[in-house]
Structure 1
Amino acid sequence: MKKRWVINTPPEENKILKLAYKLNCPPVIANLLLQRDIDTAEKAQAFFYPSLNMLHDPFLMKDMDKAVDRLDKAIAQEEKILIYGDYDVDGTTAVALLYKYLKNKCNATNLEYYIPDRYTEGYGVSIKGIDYAAENDFSLILVTDCGVKAVEKVRYAKEKGVDIIICDHHTPGDSLPEAVAVLDPQRQDCDYPYKWLSGCGVSFKLVQAHSMKHNLPMSELYKLLDLLCVSIASDIVPITGENRILAYYGLQQLNEKPSLGLKTIIEVSGIDKEITINDIVFRIGPRINAAGRVESGNRAVDLLVADEKFSANDIASDINIFNDRRKKLDHDITEEAIAHITHSEIEPSRKTTVLFNPKWHKGVIGIVASRLTESFYRPTIVLTESNGMATGSARSVEGFDLYYAISQCSELLENYGGHKYAAGLTLKIENIEPFRKKFEQIVQETINEEMLTPQINIDAKIKLSDITPELYNMLQKFAPFGPNNTIPVFMTENVTNFIGTRRVGRNNEHLKLVVVDDTRICSDRSGIGFGMGHLYDEVNSGKYFSICYSLQENEFMGKIDIQMMLKDIKFNKPEKTEES
């Protein structure tokens, strides 16, 4: 698939050189820092060496004082507290974090957690969950990673004599629930300085505030950062500001002394190196998610709060099986969906994908929507049947506001929620076709052709001679990487093939590239292009071309070198002659 290269606008050269001089670093490092609005030595120091002392005062969050007071009252009066959270990674880690924090402060019989069933209750606060609380004498529910739109459900709980504290991070609706406290930095009336916490992050701010009020040692609280880091990585929130600090120290906790539950997941995942954000996203997070996708999110929380090795191993084994089932379901449904699109006469001409199959497994349609977006690169919605309704997940492409497009079809929907790039929705089955037509119309009117071409964002142009151990070592200080702080991508122009380029892989599908650039200042530089084996002949033809790539250490036979991880190759257009 053709890709569009977008080169970030570089800062003014004098600013780059000035910051590089102050930091005694290569200009390309100063360039990357300035692109992140880090324009002084002091800001660079804070970025390269984040400190937990930089965390914001949790009492700056609207309603935090009310939440802490109500929690104190429940603990003092030995009320029964129910911790209620979503069934995804963010929700289950948030529930586990609150449970582990409160476990030593409440009578064990007075504390319980509840994860709604994806299939019978659906997303968010459920009537069934509230009824369970009321029937079992829980007078306080801590709702996490959902609830900010649950106006009617909170009112119902109030009628049942159950108080609710909400810890959410999603965009509120037109009115807020009448809860004891609604903790959500996305509230328009909330002045909290950092807006992009995960749901688990908001829950962490609640227990941070409680610890501060009671002068409890922060060292005990920071032991929970491994859970928070997993939520930050898995929920794809920006790794900037406070999230970056929390992820930085959460990774340390995860690598040095993870909780038993997470340690067991790491073991069954087969991770035997230093854990990164990518390891969480692709290996740890999916296993936690699998419980809620194919069985019950309660099993994930059972593991995350486990304090006995035998029990943890047993649950982790089950979750690994759930993950294998999830992968098979994901693969089979994706293949079926791709076949439908490619064999349809109408689908290839559309600017959207809206697919419905009542037999598809509800637990994996979000993953399928993501895979279809990658394959066809257009706004995508995948629906299945649940409780007599069509329900599903939506995914967007770079730059397109999916949530807005869905909102313009709201008269055809029973419920919807989400953000610019991902959303969930529910509608009557008879409304699927009218919705498909209107959604296509809205997208056609609001999307541009550039958005329908996959985009590679390039941070800077460099020469091969710029790639040095010093550069690579400084790039590592930008970690942890994630949304809004991605691994830097570089572009080098006018390179040509050098001795050693070859196809690799079982079917020669990958390209091991060895190139030099037009400066000839340094020796050859090697890189790997996965899935680029078909470009071998053109690369080997003697043409000049441009490459974009990130950098990674590669160890082979005891030798460590810096390798380019290729994103794309563009061949230079031939110059026109007088005859042409």
Structure 2
Amino acid sequence: MKKYLGCSPKYNWFIEEVDIEKLFDLIDKWHLPIPIGMTLFKRGVLTSHDLNTFFNTPLQSLRNPFHMKDMEKAVRRVYEAIIAKEKICIYGDYDVDGVTSTALIYLFLKELGANVIYYIPNRLEEGYGLNIEAIDELKIKNISLLITVDCGITAIREIEYAKTCGIDVIITDHHKPLDELPSAYSILNPMREDDEYEFKGLSGVGVAFKFIMAMRYFLSINNFFKDKIPNLKKYLDIVALGTIADVVPMVDENRIFVKHGLKILSNRDVRIGLNELKRVTGLLNTNIEVSHVGYVLAPRINAVGRLGESDRGVRLLITKNKNEARWLAEELDIENRYRQEMERRILSDSFNKIERLGLAQRFSGIVLYSDRWHPGIIGIVASRVAEKYNKPAIVISLEEGIGKGSARSIADFHLYNCLKEISDLFLKFGGHKYAVGIQLYEQNIKVLQRRFDEVVKKYRRANDQHPELMIDAIVNPKDINMDLMNWLERMKPFGQGNQEPLFCMRNVKKYQQFGFTGRDKSHLRGFIEKDRYVFEIVGYNMKEYQSYVKGYDTFDIVFTPEINQWFGDRSILLKLKDIKRV
């Protein structure tokens, strides 16, 4: 049951009440700090077994891949292709999830001695997913088995065509299917309605890893390996990279992949391409965390795909040549800087248009379009627009009467289901809860704005306009100590489904006047005091609170504690999520 704690200018504050007796039984057994116990309990970590799995993430906890529908059929077909020396092609998507999926299966099949190539479509010339022209090219190359990764689940016409070309298709994907499934040889996708696989939150590279797990087992029982069986753990750096980049829930198998993969990524002997990418980004001697992947490494692999060529991302992951790895890493870094400049320009255009036309006030969902915007950047822009205005957003790039659009969602809003209701407007449509890709005729954009607004209003509850902020625990100053910080460190990696905990401290006093710092004076900084404990606070991008906090001395705050290091000294900083007057 949720308890209402009041509201700030931005959020309604809530905390979920728990069964205290069960909670303290768990806390006592594991000697947990109360805020940590409350946080885990609310996230479904309810037993000692759950806690052991959560904190230790044993690889033995990975699920049986053969529970995924069509798995045995798929691995048997690959086994036959390897034995017969058929030519196999891995067909990937151009984002990081697709690139890592492609590299993963390619490297594993190469290790098995398979006759394998890969194909990544050019985003600008070919668009997303399978296309007829690519299938024609693969037919000329005598491909008889095509394995899609992170795509294919909506390619009904293209897979029918591949069959007429004598090409069997195995789909590995994680996107939500349409009502009709393609007539592929086999379809590995936990999002299938008829699939009983226990975890539905895998990324594309997660599904690909389950595929090679199953392949290794099948080949083993068929006496394929003459020497030792391949150790798949060495691939978890690639799996972690794609899993983090695709922003899937950081729970269950994804948490296992990422926790083990980050350890490999942090090593100096990580695969040579990633080591060179760490070098050019200044991360060589760093313990790699989710933020390093999400904000530094993955965007550089994504940049080349956004601007057209994803092949360099795959080559970076599969090369064994140090000179090639260094050149590729530097190329990706240069491309990313170019992408960032384009992104800044398009973001500025977008925000100016929203403010000038009052789109945030007039519509529940925002639609933006231009023939001057690069189609590879619009997904990032849509995310920033959705985040800034707390509204689902669609950003469209126009070329020769066709609009290619990226739609992004906000918390707890099912964008895919929303857009499915108006999918008659689209030439192409696919994605999942938080991100959708569309294509439509330019003349339909005005209709899209009206109908998108209508369907968003239908799906959003009235109080979603002032979103909920769910607090994990109310804490006292004495709870904020190094023991708590050590447990928070053990809770990593954080991500969707396992977010950084949000704690609330009530009736804190200003210890000194708050200031606003940064280039545009947008970051709140200061010190607060309660019960003779003093803490430094920082609230990033809280410029709109400047007049709200002025002249007031007592507040409730919602925050995440983090370690602040200054010339060797370690202290605890409270990173604000929100603040409200008392």
Fold conserved (TM > 0.5)? yes
Distance change in 2, residues 1:159/1:196 (3 Å): same
- The offset of 1:333, in angstroms, is 0.8
- The offset of 1:4, in angstroms, is 0.8
CA distance in 1, matches of 2:543, 2:391: 26
Report sequence identity in percent.
36
In the TM superposition, 1:492-511 aligns within 5 A as 492-499=505-512, 502-505=515-518, 509-511=522-524
Give 1:294's aligned residue. 307
CA distance in 2, matches of 1:380, 1:534: 22
Secondary structure at 1:185 match in 2: coil
Give 1:341's aligned residue. 354
Q: Tell me which moved more, 527-536 or 285-294.
A: 527-536
CA distance in 1, matches of 2:130, 2:465: 36
In the TM superposition, 1:559-570 aligns within 5 A as 559-570=569-580
CA distance in 2, matches of 1:507, 1:424: 34
2:284 is the alignment partner of 1:259: no
Q: Which amino acid aligns with 2:31?
A: N
- The offset of 1:136, in angstroms, is 0.8
CA distance in 2, matches of 1:56, 1:543: 53
Q: Which amino acid aligns with 2:178?
A: G
In the TM superposition, 1:272-283 aligns within 5 A as 272-283=285-296
Which of residues 335, 341, 346 is equivalent to 1:322?
335
Q: Tell me which moved more, 347-356 or 460-469.
A: 347-356
Which of residues 220, 225, 228 is equivalent to 2:239?
228
CA-based RMSD:
2.0
Secondary structure at 2:373 match in 1: coil
**Cα deviation digits, residues 349-405 of structure 1 (max 9, x gap):** 222211121221000011111111122221211111246411101112222222222
Q: Tell me which moved more, 268-277 or 121-130.
A: 268-277
Q: Which amino acid aligns with 1:260?
A: I
**Cα deviation digits, residues 467-498 of structure 1 (max 9, x gap):** 11111111211111111001101111100012
- The offset of 1:28, in angstroms, is 1.8
CA distance in 1, matches of 2:457, 2:516: 41
- Normalising by structure 1, report the TM-score: 0.94
Q: Which amino acid aligns with 2:391?
A: R
Secondary structure at 2:533 match in 1: coil
Give 1:491's aligned residue. 504
Q: Which amino acid aligns with 2:571?
A: D
Give 2:469's aligned residue. 456
Distance change in 2, residues 1:538/1:218 (3 Å): farther
In the TM superposition, 1:100-249 aligns within 5 A as 100-106=107-113, 110-215=115-220, 220-249=231-260
CA distance in 2, matches of 1:443, 1:455: 18
Which of residues 38, 41, 44 is equivalent to 1:37?
44
Give 2:4's aligned residue. none
Secondary structure at 1:236 match in 2: coil
**Cα deviation digits, residues 247-293 of structure 1 (max 9, x gap):** 11111111124211111222222224211111111111111100111
2:344 is the alignment partner of 1:331: yes
Secondary structure at 2:316 match in 1: helix
**Cα deviation digits, residues 140-199 of structure 1 (max 9, x gap):** 111100111212111100100011111111111222222221111111221211111111
**Cα deviation digits, residues 495-549 of structure 1 (max 9, x gap):** 00125865544565433322122xx1x5212222224477678757462101111
2:378 is the alignment partner of 1:365: yes
Distance change in 2, residues 1:470/1:75 (3 Å): same
Which of residues 37, 41, 53 is equivalent to 1:46?
53
Give 2:3's aligned residue. none
Q: Tell me which moved more, 7-16 or 418-427.
A: 7-16
Q: Which amino acid aligns with 2:255?
A: R
Distance change in 2, residues 1:339/1:540 (3 Å): closer
**Cα deviation digits, residues 278-331 of structure 1 (max 9, x gap):** 111111111110011113011111111111110011111111111111111111
Distance change in 2, residues 1:327/1:76 (3 Å): same
Query: Which consecutive residues of structure 1, in runs of 5 or more, have no partner in the other structure?
Result: 573-580
- The offset of 1:131, in angstroms, is 1.0
Answer yes or no: is the 8 Å Cα contact 2:124–2:308 preserved in 1: no
2:68 is the alignment partner of 1:61: yes
CA distance in 1, matches of 2:472, 2:360: 35
2:31 is the alignment partner of 1:19: no
Secondary structure at 1:524 match in 2: strand
Give 1:575's aligned residue. none
CA distance in 2, matches of 1:30, 1:404: 35
Answer yes or no: is the 8 Å Cα contact 2:124–2:307 preserved in 1: no
Q: Tell me which moved more, 86-95 or 75-84.
A: 75-84
2:553 is the alignment partner of 1:543: yes
- The offset of 1:452, in angstroms, is 2.6
CA distance in 2, matches of 1:137, 1:508: 61
CA distance in 1, matches of 2:427, 2:341: 30
CA distance in 1, matches of 2:362, 2:298: 35
**Cα deviation digits, residues 92-123 of structure 1 (max 9, x gap):** 0000011111112235xx32110011122111
Give 1:556's aligned residue. 566
Q: Which amino acid aligns with 1:115?
A: I
Q: Which amino acid aligns with 2:243?
A: I
Distance change in 2, residues 1:368/1:218 (3 Å): farther
Secondary structure at 2:558 match in 1: strand
Distance change in 2, residues 1:483/1:507 (3 Å): closer
Q: Which amino acid aligns with 1:220?
A: N
**Cα deviation digits, residues 412-453 of structure 1 (max 9, x gap):** 221211122211111111111122211112223332342233
**Cα deviation digits, residues 217-260 of structure 1 (max 9, x gap):** 67621100000001110001011111111111111111124211
CA distance in 1, matches of 2:13, 2:544: 24
Distance change in 2, residues 1:538/1:181 (3 Å): closer
Distance change in 2, residues 1:508/1:424 (3 Å): closer
In the TM superposition, 1:368-383 aligns within 5 A as 368-383=381-396
CA distance in 1, matches of 2:320, 2:400: 37
Answer yes or no: is the 8 Å Cα contact 2:509–2:555 preserved in 1: yes
Which of residues 3, 10, 14 is equivalent to 1:3?
10
2:437 is the alignment partner of 1:427: no
Answer yes or no: is the 8 Å Cα contact 1:7–1:460 preserved in 2: no
- The offset of 1:455, in angstroms, is 4.4
Distance change in 2, residues 1:537/1:523 (3 Å): farther
2:84 is the alignment partner of 1:77: yes
Q: Which amino acid aligns with 1:561?
A: S
Distance change in 2, residues 1:208/1:551 (3 Å): same
CA distance in 1, matches of 2:286, 2:175: 34
Distance change in 2, residues 1:103/1:335 (3 Å): same
Q: Which amino acid aligns with 2:199?
A: Y
Q: Which amino acid aligns with 2:431?
A: G
CA distance in 2, matches of 1:383, 1:548: 36
CA distance in 2, matches of 1:301, 1:183: 22
CA distance in 2, matches of 1:356, 1:536: 33
CA distance in 2, matches of 1:102, 1:507: 52
Q: Which amino acid aligns with 1:81?
A: I
Q: How many residues align?
A: 567
Q: Tell me which moved more, 216-225 or 201-210.
A: 216-225
**Cα deviation digits, residues 22-80 of structure 1 (max 9, x gap):** 11222222211211211122221121111001111111111111111111111111111
Distance change in 2, residues 1:555/1:340 (3 Å): same
Query: Which consecutive residues of structure 2, in runs of 5 or more, have no partner in the other structure?
Result: 1-7
